[in-house]
Amino acid sequence: LPLDERLKRRIIDGERNGLEADLDAALTQRSALAIINDTLLEGMKVVGELFGSGQMQLPFVLQSAEVMKTAVAYLEPHMDKADDAGKGRIVLATVKGDVHDIGKNLVDIILSNNGYDVVNIGIKQPISAILEAAEQHGADAIGMSGLLVKSTVIMKENLQEMITRGVAERWPVLLGGAALTRAYVEDDLRSLYPGQVHYARDAFEGLSLMDRVMT
Ligand code: B1M
């Protein structure tokens, strides 16, 4: 198989033997980010389709996710880093009940490499823990990730809780994850939330939103 196909297959098959050598070879041709976006994420997309249609079982999805994580960790040091540190601080979490963190961790990498201080508090985080971290670390914004349809409901509840606690206008909120839609965030959630709430389709939109809310 050509290198690019082979790397994609490694994600789909959850095969990590020889992964580093293939990544090294790919790095001589393309940037780390291009490898992630154009190849590895394409592999994850196929995994999602196979799982969704019942052609792949959960343990294999987990293996694919592990190879994806290994690959991203291997590529991370090769990514471009901006010199402009200290642009602002964001608390990042996957919401309560949701374990998906590959997307959240990519957002962490992209923001960290572009001058933001990211406090990544992990998966399955209830709103109380998110707000506590935001308070404790003096965050400028809050980012919530969630991939399950259920998580989109949790995000709405989280915003409601922020209203109840009187902190809706304190932190701009960025939301992302595969089950969300722009319309849900920008129409439904915005209509009930007095503070800033933004939808990020991917990590780069997350970055441009952070640049926007920090100016
Ligand atoms: Co799960 N899973 N999973 N899974 N899984 C999905 C999400 C699913 C769509 C698969 C499917 O059915 N086709 C489906 C959800 C269905 C639904 O809710 N309607 C699903 C399911 C059902 C489940 C379980 C319930 C399965 C089960 O147990 N029976 C279970 C849930 C457990 C739980 O959370 N309580 C489960 C478990 C798992 C694994 C543990 C095996 C594994 C996760 C491993 C891990 O993350 N550590 C896993 C995986 C890998 C997937 C798929 C295949 C891939 C997800 C992924 O990493 N994509 C996924 C299929 C899919 O998404 N279509 C699926 C790559 C990643 C880079 O994309 O996270 O979307 P994503 O991030 C993007 C953007 O969304 C955005 O930026 C990123 C790109 O730049 N973004 C943000 C994300 N967060 C952001 C935050 C921001 C800004 C942008 O600012 C704050």
Q: pLDDT at residue 83 above 90?
A: no
Dmax (CA) for the chain in angstroms is 57
Instruction: Give 149-184 pLDDT, tens digit per residue.
Output: 999 999 999 999 999 999 999 999 999 999 999 999
* Nearest in space to 25 (alpha carbons), one of 4, 55, 1: 4
This complex has an ipTM of: 0.98
Look up 151 and say whether it is catalytic.
yes
- E strands in the chain: 88-94, 116-120, 141-145, 173-176, 197-200
Q: Which residues are annotated as a binding site for methylcob(III)alamin?
A: 97-101, 145, 203
Q: Confidence band (pLDDT; 50, 70, 90) for 46? A: very high
Q: Supply the residue whose CA is at minimum distance from atom 28 of ligand 1.
A: 58
Q: Pick the catalytic residue: 22, 100, 108, 140?
A: 100
Q: What is the mean pLDDT of the chain?
A: 96
